[in-house]
Structure 1
Amino acid sequence: MLVVMRHRPDTQRADLPLPETQSFRVSDLDEARAICTEYYYEVALDLLDRSRPLAFAADLVRLGPVTVGDIRFGADVAIGADILDAYHVNLPVAGAIGSEHRGAITVASPRRAAVYRPGAGAHAGRWSADCRSLGIRVDRASLEAELEALVGRPIRGPIRFGPSFDTTMGAGLTWSRMANLLRSELENPHSALLQPLVAERYAQGMLSGLLFATDHQYAEALTAHVPPARPRTVRRAVQVMEADPTHPFTTAELARLAGVSARALQEGFRRHVGLSPMAYLQHVRMGYAREELRHPVPGRDTVAAIAHAWGFGHLGRFAAAYRERFGESPSATLRGR
């Protein structure tokens, strides 16, 4: 069943992608192939041992440019795609997947993720019956736009990722935990990650996180020193946020509007505002949340509903930040005390 978490009618925007989840359990090879094609790519899928029936299971969540699927076949299969139109990561939870991509042989395991880039195909020699993996599809245009925003200049894609990265330490561990958290939230129908304002920022975090987790030709540029944005540029970003606080801004988008790189804008905000761009946006949204708490709609508004509507995914942290800023709890404001 398709599960769609919708934002509050008074703050939802038509241009904000709605997160979606889907679960499948099929035993027919053609049905499994069709599901993989719909959510990923056109694939060739074959049983390697006809004595063991297929038991395909897929639990999927799509947040705009990022699709994460928990995939199991329950039988030994060979799977491959002749053409990839997106970046892709295989992150096994159990078992291993050996594959060939652009002439390189890679073995993905729970300790090492395999990375594939658009253009050429990828083929797994054998996906064993006991293997379970997160298959992560990342939209090409979105990832390359995120990289351009971070480095502050045009790039020539595709990004030449290394064939794999370590998921046991550093940025690779962080990114794998982000992917696994998103998968685990499939079991929570009221997850904050499925609220559109939160989902958009989480997906953007996965894009930038992947760029820091992997080796590629722009890796050094991501960590090089950049001068901060000037106060005029910072003021421009502030004006944009305050004029449209319900828009799902990201640092990358604000940087494009201000005409600087994302890292320069972050440094400019740190120096001249004392907050990151996203922290400042939350500051603005908290002010609007307070107004809703002070003037609630009877029978509809609760602290949790208002917090989630304005993009605050963790109710406890929202309440603590609210109390620190306004000197009272959100529930006290709601009660008019």
Structure 2
Amino acid sequence: MTSPPVRTQQFDSRDPAAIHRFLSTMYDPRLRIHSRNGYRLTHRRVDTGSFAIATTRQTGQLDIGASALGGLVIGRAHTARVDRACAGSTNRFGPGDVFLVTRPEAPCTARWQPGEVELCVLDLSVLAQVATAAPARRPGQIRFTDLGPADAALARQWRNTTSFISEVVLNNPTTSAQPLVIGNAARMLAAAALMVFPNTAFTEPTNADRHDANTATLRRAIAFVEEHAGRDISAADIAGAAGVSLRAVQLAFRRHLGTTPMAYLRRIRLGRAHNDLVRADPGRETVSAIASRWGFASHSRFTARYHASYGVPPRETLNA
């Protein structure tokens, strides 16, 4: 499975018309922007297809109205103050604060004071790869019930997650070119968003899920994982291949193996990376390149996991 190439877009302008065209194209065709004075806007956006992370700074006071932002848009104020009105409530955010800009497809307005903000735009389909919205057999749409984080510790987790993905994944040409790494990063963001912001996702299995969490389900799931470990697959893909719900396949792995579907997939990929290290020419290959090919973005984390499993650092296997 291939994924679209990661694209970096940079924009810098003092022309209000050009700024409006750019932001409307990026976020909302019906976007409204008003400023009493001239201002400058700089914008850097790294877009992977399934998610994008943008850092944008402006020097004026902007009144912004959005009708329907595409995807789930999560803001993080770096140095700016933002007053956001949505669904009858108004909130003020300052440096360090994390917030949902609005609910998907819901209008909002914001007053953005001079400074920098970070925006993470997440495709809604990624949410369904890590959670489901209702106890019914057919997944529903997940709704967010609050636009702020559940608590300060979870807000800090969101900041740590986006910082890791920006610095370790997107700023490294080796990892950002690997579909498995990008897929893992998208699901990491989705799982973090569902943990940080209150929502209607269900995680507890139903009676039907418990019935389906049997060894036959596990065998089908394992066969799919082992055959498709080199592709960007999610827990939802594993469940679909096994013919059960997401919660059922999660329960099957927990009940019979004491792990999760994605942790089992990482174990299989670690073994494939080990095989590549054994066969690789150390003059042509590197540990980082092999690790990222199998979905491991962090060299240090891969090294620690490999050492724990094989008793030696991966570089020793490569150079043997």
1:26 aligns to 2:13 (yes or no): yes
Instruction: Measure the CA separation in 1 of the matches of 2:318 and 2:166.
Output: 34
Shift of 1:117: 1.8
Of the three residues 62, 65, 82, the one matched with 1:97 is 82
2:57 equivalent to 1:72: yes
Inter-partner Cα distance in structure 1 for 2:163 and 2:315: 33
Measured after TM superposition, the shift of residue 201 of structure 1 is: 0.9
| Alpha-carbon distance, 1:89 to partner | 2.2
1:197 paired residue among 171, 180, 184: 180
Q: Structure 2: which 5+ runs fail to align?
A: none
Q: How many residues align?
A: 315
- Shift in alpha-carbon separation, 1:286–1:179, aligned structure 2, 3 A: closer
Residue in structure 1 matched with residue 203 of structure 2 by the alignment: 222
> Quick check: 1:84–1:118 contact (8 Å CA) kept in 2?
yes
Pair 1:85 & 2:70 matched? yes
Structure 1 position 45 matched with structure 2 position 33: yes
Structure 2 counterpart of 1:280, from 259, 264, 271: 264
175, 178, 184: which is aligned to 2:158?
Answer: 175
Displacement after TM superposition at 1:276 (Å): 2.3
Gap change, CA 1:305 and 1:21, over 3 Å in 2: same
Deviation, 1:299, is 4.3
Change beyond 3 A, Cα 1:245–1:39: same
1:210 aligns with 2:193: yes
- CA 327–115 in structure 1, closer or farther in 2 if over 3 Å, else same: same
Q: Distance in 2 between matches of 1:255 and 1:121?
A: 35
Question: What residue number does 1:315 align with?
Answer: 299
Q: Partners of 1:326 and 1:146 in 2: how far apart?
A: 30
Gaps of 5+ in 1: 1-12
Distance 2:118 2:34 in 1: 20
1:250-293 CA-partner distances (Å, limit 9, x unpaired):
22221232233334323321332233222222222222222222
Question: Distance between the aligned counterparts of 2:173 and 2:134, measured in 1?
Answer: 32
**1:227-306 equivalent positions in 2, closer than 5 A:** 227=210, 229-297=213-281, 299-306=283-290
User: CA 1:140–1:275 in structure 2 vs 1: closer, same or farther (change >3 Å)?
Assistant: closer
Instruction: Determine the structure 2 residue equivalent to 1:7.
Output: none
CA deviation digits over 1:40-79, x for unaligned, max 9? 222222222x2xx422111222233222211211111112
Superposition map of 1:108-119 within 5 A: 108-109=93-94, 110-119=96-105
Identity level (%): 26
**Normalising by structure 1, what TM-score?**
0.81
**Contact 1:59–1:71 under 8 Å retained in 2:** yes
Mean alpha-carbon deviation: is it higher for 281-290 or for 68-77?
Answer: 281-290
Greater CA deviation, 159-168 or 281-290? Answer: 159-168
Q: Is the 8 A contact 2:147 2:197 kept in 1?
A: no
The Cα shift of 1:21 comes to 2.8
Q: Could you give the per-residue CA deviations for residues 110-133 of structure 1, whole angstroms, max 9, x where no partner exists?
A: 335134123332211x2111x321
Q: C-alpha distance in 1, partners of 2:27/2:169?
A: 18
Is this contact kept in 1: 2:132–2:141, CA < 8 A? no
In structure 1, give the amino acid aligned to 2:105: G
Contact 1:245/1:284 (<8 A) preserved = yes
- With over 3 angstroms needed to count, the CA separation of the structure-2 counterparts of 1:145 and 1:37, relative to structure 1, is farther
Deviation, 1:306, is 1.2
Q: In angstroms, what is the RMSD of aligned CA positions?
A: 2.9
Q: Distance in 1 between matches of 2:197 and 2:127?
A: 13
The secondary structure found in structure 1 opposite 2:75 is strand
The separation in 2 between residues aligned to 1:253 and 1:73, in whole angstroms, is 41
